[in-house]
Structure 1
Amino acid sequence: MADKNWRDLNKRFLSALVLGPAALLCVWLGANPYTALIAVGIAILTWEWVHLCGLKTRQLPGAGVPVAVLLAGALAVVEWPLTAWTVLIAGFLLTWAWAERLRGRDRPEWPALRLALGVLYIGIAGLCLIELRHDNEAGRANVLFLLLVVWSSDVGAYLAGRAFGGPLLWPQVSPAKTWAGALGGLLVAMAIGTSAALVLAPGHAGRAAAVAAILAVATQAGDLLESWIKRHFKVKDTSSLIPGHGGLLDRLDGLLAAAPVAALLAALLGYGAPLWR
């Protein structure tokens, strides 16, 4: 049983060893690499979502999801945030309406609302990640802090859950996530977040730990949401893109939930302020 618990560890480690440094490097290098990273991520995430719905991204209405999210992201990159959010909401409504029109006429089984919800699920997080990085004074530090907290929460939850087991966190949604894993993820995220804050922009360790805890809770909520989504679609993974992790949606589920929380905190703190100040 112990070997079974850790049989995917090597694949997870190797995947993280490649993807993690690449993402951090793009964040560190600045606007162009970061924009390319977000664009590639959005393209893959929307492709996975559309395929979960049983449709194709090169045909309508499935094409509405990547088009809406990428267009909104492009507008956010050129610093037209209000227009970007307007396009995102309009894209959601138009994709829903178009899918409903075709569903009623030709394909009664098409999941119109579920398809359109992908615009919001992926698009909101994408816009928040772009807006976070646009703060020239604190953007780099805030995005790095967010990524490190999300990743450490995932790693801590995985290791503690596999090592200690115990009662399930929400058995109706996920058959594998435990309370031990949730606590382990929280504690590791707080430790890594506090350490990262002291390096990135020294300030109040207690506040850094508190912000890391908030983001870790959001991360785990996003993980549970993704488990519910996969249960709803009756799939084990959103794709087989990443060895040991499944699809990019499987890997970024926590980030999709934590990014809006981080962006909200940044907006409340104001321009130039690290999230833990």
Structure 2
Amino acid sequence: MKRVITAVILITAVLALIFFGKLWMLTLFAAIIAELAAYEYLQLAAIGAETNGAKLRIPFWWMAIATALAFIVTLPNFPVEDQLPVLSALTLVLFLWNGFRAPLNQVLPDTAQGLFGLIYIAYPLTLIPLLWSKENGPTLVLFLMLCVWVGDTAALYVGRAFGKRKLAPRLSPGKTWAGSLASIAGSVLIAFALAEAASALNAHGSVVLHISEPLWQTLVLAAILNIAAQLGDLLESAIKRGAGVKDSGTMLPGHGGILDRIDALLVAAPVLWFALLLKDYFGLGRF
């Protein structure tokens, strides 16, 4: 029951932000989620370092400030050219901190893990408000969320009922090929339903949902996003198994940690962003 209640609250909050929120609200919400997930990442990285006889030296203050700045420089009043210099400056600050405080054999690993945490967690979540700001942005973000949510749900129930052959037992023993294929099918079906709903609403003069691209592109994109989401889930499992833990944390009753809930999104969101860039480059139209 805790799992269901938590899921309902989170989904309701996300849908309300997508359709009734403003850009600053969506940005703030994504930033808070990123800060919490970054904290969990530091905990996992520290446990992983201890298992190898080392001590992680990524200060939380650096991760918190770096994550916040990653969102600040994506706001409309900041030019996109600011993002790389800010990232470089943050890396240099962490490098200096570790260089003068950590054992020499830990300077590079600690700095690299800090930078990876920023790119792995903060950057993908900064794309959510950026996607929302695009043409048909609310529908685009809803499309992304539905592909991840429905795919994950289909994989869970079909995998439990029919799954026999393991997908990646070294990373996640519970995942099966049956669940994986059901996940792709679930994402494609919900994308089809969303496209049909948008078409029906548009026919009646409503612009609540709008998709301008051909249906085949929407379905292909849904399948690609689902595969990316499954990879994101497996990669986070690799981090957890390396640290010897089952969940990334306990912040979400019945679900584990924040990172456990957004792991698929952390890969799916950048893939969607890059797919849209490729669509523009090859003249395939907007979403």
CA distance in 2, matches of 1:148, 1:197: 12
CA distance in 2, matches of 1:101, 1:220: 40
Equivalent runs, 1:65-76 vs 2, <5 Å: 65-76=63-74
Cα–Cα, structure 1 residues 275 and 18, in superposed 2: closer, same or farther, change >3 Å?
Answer: farther
Cα–Cα, structure 1 residues 208 and 166, in superposed 2: closer, same or farther, change >3 Å?
Answer: same
Equivalent runs, 1:148-167 vs 2, <5 Å: 148-167=146-165
**Map of 1:262 onto structure 2:** 272
> Quick check: 1:181 aligned with 2:179?
yes
**Map of 1:25 onto structure 2:** 16
Cα–Cα, structure 1 residues 230 and 201, in superposed 2: closer, same or farther, change >3 Å?
Answer: same
CA RMSD of aligned residues (A): 2.7
CA distance in 1, matches of 2:73, 2:104: 34
Cα–Cα, structure 1 residues 162 and 96, in superposed 2: closer, same or farther, change >3 Å?
Answer: farther
The answer as to whether partners of 1:68 and 1:91 remain within 8 angstroms in 2 is yes
CA distance in 1, matches of 2:184, 2:257: 24
- Structure 2, gaps ≥5 residues long: 48-56, 199-208
**Map of 1:127 onto structure 2:** 126
CA distance in 2, matches of 1:238, 1:91: 25
Displacement of 1:22 after TM fit? 0.5
Displacement of 1:264 after TM fit? 1.1
Identical positions, percent: 33
Cα–Cα, structure 1 residues 275 and 16, in superposed 2: closer, same or farther, change >3 Å?
Answer: farther
Cα–Cα, structure 1 residues 169 and 28, in superposed 2: closer, same or farther, change >3 Å?
Answer: same
**Map of 2:252 onto structure 1:** 242
Cα–Cα, structure 1 residues 85 and 266, in superposed 2: closer, same or farther, change >3 Å?
Answer: farther
Q: Per the alignment, in what secondary structure is the counterpart of residue 173 of structure 2?
A: coil
TM-score by length of 1: 0.85
CA distance in 2, matches of 1:130, 1:274: 23
**Map of 1:38 onto structure 2:** 30
**Map of 2:43 onto structure 1:** 51
Q: Per the alignment, in what secondary structure is the counterpart of residue 176 of structure 1?
A: strand
Displacement of 1:225 after TM fit? 0.3
**Map of 1:99 onto structure 2:** 98
**Map of 2:189 onto structure 1:** 191
How many aligned residue pairs are there?
262
TM-score by length of 2: 0.82
- What amino acid maps onto 2:2 in structure 1? K
Displacement of 1:140 after TM fit? 1.5
Displacement of 1:21 after TM fit? 1.2
CA distance in 1, matches of 2:252, 2:276: 31
**Map of 1:6 onto structure 2:** none
**Map of 2:215 onto structure 1:** 205
The answer as to whether partners of 2:236 and 2:260 remain within 8 angstroms in 1 is yes
Cα–Cα, structure 1 residues 274 and 126, in superposed 2: closer, same or farther, change >3 Å?
Answer: farther
CA distance in 2, matches of 1:51, 1:119: 14
CA distance in 1, matches of 2:168, 2:265: 20
CA distance in 1, matches of 2:157, 2:238: 22
> Quick check: 1:219 aligned with 2:229?
yes
The answer as to whether partners of 2:42 and 2:58 remain within 8 angstroms in 1 is no
Q: Per the alignment, in what secondary structure is the counterpart of residue 244 of structure 1?
A: coil
